[in-house]
Amino acid sequence: MSQTKQPTNTGALATLVIVFFFWGFIAASNSILIPFCKTHFHLNQFQSQLIGSAFYGAYFIGSLILFILSNTKGTDLLNKIGYKKGIIYGLWISVVGALLIIPSANANSFPAILISLFIVALGFSLQQTAAQPFAIVLGDPSTGSHRLNLGGGVNSLGTTLGPIIVSFFLFGSASANPEEATITNINSLYLIVAAVFAAVALFFTFSKLPDGKNDEKFEKANKAARSLLLMTAIIAGVIVVGQLTNVDKLPLLVATILTVVGILFYSNNAAKKESEGWGAMRYQQLILGMLGIFVYVGVEVTIDNNFGALLKVPGYFNEAGLNESEISHFVSLYWGSLMIGRWTGAIGVFNLSKTGKTIATVIVPFVAFAVVLLANYVKGNNISDLYAYAGVVAIMVLAFFYGQEKPVKTLLTVSVLATIAMLVGVFTNGLVSVYALMAGGLCCSVMWPCIFSLGVAGLGKYTSQGSAFLIMMILGGAVIPPLQGTFGDNPSIGMHNSYLIAAACFAFLALLAIRMRGVLKAQGLDFDNQIGGGH
């Protein structure tokens, strides 16, 4: 839908991107918290991945609750209160969760920590559901994807700094031993996190940001609601079986994935026969997009969340294996790789000439890489083993030029490169393997906007609803990491070979890009002419 060009509210946008920073900061911090909890609570790799399951599962539950309540009342509750208040309420929910981590840690209760992290992420779910469309209404819709890429770039700055700062709080310095990390360190960290969330909430409350509402009519989708509730009930049943019985975790995780895939395709097939009541689920590109987001978020998270355990394996990076306090610079390199790509994707926010854009596309990735190196240097990490990663960045710059910001072409290109990188990472050791696995972050950096834009293409009045469904599929971050963790716990496979799961995920995304192109072309949509969305 064409609209009159409107200027971007730069002041409001600058305020909004603060929230993007903290999503990244906390999400990436889990990468350090996971190996710490694994050691402190004597967990296996599957159990340690429940941190990610609690965190990313909250996104699904939060989005689902909001959708069900809105559908029941026949009105978009978030639009009713306004995006600004949605973000504020979400921040206060996260404050409660961060504060609850303190007594949970003091009680030495891992389940309580999981519940507390779930509450933190529940707040994030509301913040994200509000912030994504809020960024779009702060300027012309045609440039909305650029504003979201800018937010994604700031988000990635948080993911880069998060592991370094959290590692410092838990271990004191780069040379600290893991035994030095105590519950007191966790208390101090999350007290500060809660205080910062509260400060940002107050800042938003008293800022002169617009309420952020739109005039779109809410479309009820009762059949889609029942379908999503059924999916939730089955997954909940699987979780209960897993907790109350000794059934092997692998078939339960596979059952969860099959449930998601099966219900989504059942819903779409049913909607083709009778579209009434299905809303956005009648569109096959949305169903494919939901699967794409599920797998993309899952693989983005699993590469990192299992990486700490891999670095500790004797003989992988070095003979003895690294301890928790020595992994933060590699973890920050992964999330820094995401930042490199997203900063490059945000270049479109600025009104540059074609030549200026080309120059920026070459320079910005290396500036972002320099920020990663500087952050680690300031923290006290040895960065000499990170320099050569510049060669990997150069390869990705060529991939960005080849993709030409076209969603299908870009998604296919980076998915194929990521598949190759994962295979190299599995079949090599040491720094070469580390670089290959970390390159997954560079490839993931531009996947969200590609999948998101393709998923909502041609949805018309169902675009807002389709966007909410896509955000629900962040659920993949709760399922795929423990799946890889289960393979990693198997002595006959091991953590190193478990990264074949990541290779399979990227190969699936490559096939998905081809399939989505065909589905959209059948509807007369050549969506390689634009790109939208951001994460």
Following DSSP, what letter does each residue of 297-363 receive, concatenated? HHHHHHHHHTHHHHHTSTTTSSSS---GGGSHHHHHHHHHHHHHHHHHHGGGGS---HHHHHHHHHH
pLDDT number for residue 180: 57
| Spacing of C-alpha 244 from chain mean position | 30
- Is the sign of the CA dihedral 506, 509, 514, 517 positive or negative? negative
| Helix, strand, coil content of the chain in percent (nearest 5) | 80, 0, 20
Q: What angle do CA 187, 188, 193 make, to 5 degrees?
A: 95
How far are the Cα atoms of 168, 218, 457 from residue 300, in angstroms, in the given order?
A: 24, 32, 23
How far out from the chain centre does Cα 17 lie? 16
Which parts of the chain sit beneath pLDDT 70?
1-8, 28, 136, 140-146, 149, 163, 170-182, 211-218, 324-325, 348-349, 527-535
* Helices marked H in 74-109: 77-81, 83-106
User: What one-letter code names the amino acid at 390?
Assistant: A
Question: Is the distance from CB of 84 to CB of 208 less than 8 angstroms?
Answer: no
CA distance 337 to 348: 19
Are 98 and 33 contacting, i.e. CB atoms less than 8 angstroms apart?
no
Rg, the chain, Cα only: 22
Contact assessment for residue 395 and residue 431, using Cβ atoms and an 8 Å cutoff: no
For residue 400, how far is the Cα from the chain centroid? 20
Residue entry with tokens 């107050």: 202
| Cα–Cα distance measured from residue 193 to residue 25, given in angstroms and rounded to the nearest whole number | 10
Q: Are 451 and 476 a contacting pair, CB within 8 Å?
A: no
pTM for the structure as a whole: 0.84
Q: Give 388-396 contacts, CB < 8 A, sequence gap 24+.
A: 388/431, 388/435, 389/333, 389/435, 389/438, 390/366, 392/435, 392/438, 392/439, 392/442, 393/340, 393/365, 393/366, 393/369, 393/442, 395/439, 396/340, 396/341, 396/365, 396/439, 396/442, 396/443
Place of tokens 């603060």: 18
pLDDT reported for residue 291 = 96
Helix, strand or coil, per DSSP, at residue 6: coil
User: Can you tell me the distance from the alpha carbon of 163 to that of 35, in angstroms, rounded to the nearest whole number?
Assistant: 12
Among residues 457, 463, 452, the alpha carbon closest in space to that of 280 is found at 463
